[in-house]
Amino acid sequence: MFSSSACRMDISILCVAAATIVVNAYRDELVALENNVLCRPNAQLTKDLHLLTGELNQFKHTFLPTLALIRNLRDNTLVDGADWHISNLARVYLGDIQDHCTVINDALADLITLADNLINLAMYGTNFVVFPELTHRDGIMYFWKLCGIVTALVVAIFAFGFYWMNRRSKRYRPGMEISRQLREPRCY
């Protein structure tokens, strides 16, 4: 019995150690991509970030069963109906491995969030590669002048329409003849 639980602990230790190395490699890759996004954003970086986000999500979902395995080993719930015991020292050790798994899982979630934020930043940066209005002396002012002209025209059209409808309604109201007839007394 001791050998099987020791073997399970050795496998879990190796999985957690390998996962730590993989997470650190992904972190280094993401830092390099972050520097490129901040200095020189382009569409290729967005593609790379999307691929990295997919790999991180896949690794996170692949790693979750390891966390469940460590938790079950620690709590003796892995084997149904079997009577086996883990020493208190092994239980503490498995608790430490479980903490490492939780840290790895949280680090993966943080890396996924960072990659998603970098995707948004890279997409924003690639939109303005060719935007001559930013370098032209009156580039943006043309837009605001055009907005002012359009706004003035819309206000003038509505004001003229309102004036015309009021003027027309004062000149002729439907039912005006009936109200005059009711006001004037009839003499027979």
Query: 124 and 151: one domain?
Result: no
Query: 143 and 122: one domain?
Result: no
Query: 148 and 65: one domain?
Result: no
**pLDDT confidence of residue 186:** 60
**Residue pair 33/55 in contact by the 8 Å Cβ criterion:** no
Summarize pLDDT for 108-121 with one digit per residue, the tens: 999 999 999 999 88
- The more confident residue out of 13 and 157 is 157
Number of domains the chain contains:
2
Give the CA distances from residue 113 to residues 63, 87, 136, in Å, rounded to whole numbers and listed in that order. 17, 39, 37
d(CA 101, CA 124): 35
CATH number, domain with residue 18: 1.20.58
Domain end among 97, 114, 129: 129
Q: Which domain holds residue 170?
A: 135-178
Query: 48 and 109: one domain?
Result: yes
**Residue pair 66/97 in contact by the 8 Å Cβ criterion:** no
Q: Write down the pTM of the prediction.
A: 0.61
User: What is the residue-averaged pLDDT of the chain?
Assistant: 81
Summarize pLDDT for 58-96 with one digit per residue, the tens: 999 999 988 888 888 888 766 666 666 778 888 888 889
Query: 54 and 139: one domain?
Result: no
| The total number of residues written for the chain in this structure | 188
Query: 166 and 81: one domain?
Result: no
Query: 49 and 66: one domain?
Result: yes
**Residue 129 carries which DSSP code?**
S
